[in-house]
Structure 1
Amino acid sequence: MKTTIVAGLAASLAVLVALGGTAGAEERIAYKSAKSGTSYYQMGVELANAVKAGSKGEAILTVEESQGSVQNVMEAAARAGNYVFTAPPGLVSAAAAGKGPFEKRPNPRFAEIRALFPIPSLTMHFIVAGGGEAHDLSALKGKTILLGKGSFGATEGEKYLDLFGLKDSVTVADAELGNAADALKNGQIDGFVTAGSFPAPNVIEASAGGSIALLSLSDAEVEKTGRSRQVIPAGTYAGVDTDTVTTSLPVFAFSTTAMSDDTAYLLTKTFWEEKAALAGESRWWKAVDPELLAEGGVKLHPGALRYYEEAGVAVPDTLKQ
Structure 2
Amino acid sequence: MTQFFRALVAGAMVAAIGAGSAMAETRITYKSAKTASSYYQMAVQIAEAMKQGSGGEIIVTVEESQGSVQNVMETRARGGDYVFTTPPVLVKLAQGGKAMFEGKGSPKFDEIRALFPIPSLTMHFVVRDDAGIEDFAGLEGKKILIGKGSFGAREGAKYLELFGLEGKVELVDVELSNAVAALKNGQIDGFVTAGSFPAPNVIEAAASTGVTVLSLSDDQIAETKRTRLVIPAGTYAGQEADIVTTSLPVVAYTTTAMDDETAYQLTRTYWEQKAAMGEDSAWWNGVDAGLLQNITGKIHPGAARYYDEAGIALTDAQR
Could you state the TM-score of these two structures normalised by the residue count of structure 1?
A: 0.91
Question: Is the alpha carbon distance of 1:82 and 1:148 closer, same or farther for their aligned partners in structure 2, counting shifts above 3 Å?
Answer: same
Tell me which moved more, 264-273 or 102-111: 102-111
Distance 2:18 2:48 in 1: 26
SS at 1:169 equivalent: coil
Distance 1:242 1:226 in 2: 24
The answer to whether the 8 A contact 1:132-1:213 is kept is no
Partner of 1:4: none
Residue type matched to 1:263 in 2? T
Partner of 1:22: 20
Distance 2:284 2:302 in 1: 22
What's the CA shift string for 1:15-71, capped at 9, x where partnerless? 884454123631111111111132111111111111111111111111122221111
Equivalent positions of 1:282-301 (< 5 A) are 282-301=281-300
Question: Is residue 108 of structure 1 aligned with residue 111 of structure 2?
Answer: no
Instruction: State the superposition RMSD in angstroms.
Output: 2.3
Structure 1 position 88, deviation (Å): 0.3
The answer to whether the 8 A contact 1:29-1:61 is kept is yes
Residue type matched to 1:111 in 2? D
Aligned-pair identity (%): 61
Equivalent positions of 1:200-239 (< 5 A) are 200-239=199-238
The answer to whether the 8 A contact 1:198-1:232 is kept is yes
Could you state the TM-score of these two structures normalised by the residue count of structure 2?
A: 0.91
Residue type matched to 2:67 in 1? G
Distance 1:314 1:113 in 2: 20
Distance 2:300 2:157 in 1: 35
Partner of 1:190: 189
SS at 1:298 equivalent: coil
Residue type matched to 2:290 in 1? E
Partner of 1:140: 139
Distance 1:93 1:66 in 2: 20
Partner of 2:41: 42
Distance 1:196 1:146 in 2: 16
Partner of 1:159: 158
Distance 1:232 1:282 in 2: 16
What's the CA shift string for 1:79-122, capped at 9, x where partnerless? 22211111100011111111111113222211111100000111
The answer to whether the 8 A contact 1:135-1:214 is kept is no
SS at 1:231 equivalent: strand
SS at 1:303 equivalent: helix
Structure 1 position 133, deviation (Å): 5.1
Equivalent positions of 1:34-113 (< 5 A) are 34-113=33-112
SS at 1:251 equivalent: strand
What's the CA shift string for 1:182-219, capped at 9, x where partnerless? 22222222211111101112212222331211111112
* Structure 2 residues not aligned, in runs of 5+: none
Question: Is residue 308 of structure 1 aligned with residue 281 of structure 2?
Answer: no
Tell me which moved more, 133-142 or 187-196: 133-142
SS at 1:168 equivalent: coil
Structure 1 position 13, deviation (Å): 8.6
SS at 2:167 equivalent: helix
Distance 1:36 1:280 in 2: 22
Partner of 2:277: 278
Distance 2:9 2:302 in 1: 35
* Structure 1 residues not aligned, in runs of 5+: 1-6
Residue type matched to 2:101 in 1? F
Residue type matched to 2:292 in 1? L
Residue type matched to 2:96 in 1? A
Residue type matched to 1:28 in 2? R
Structure 1 position 11, deviation (Å): 10
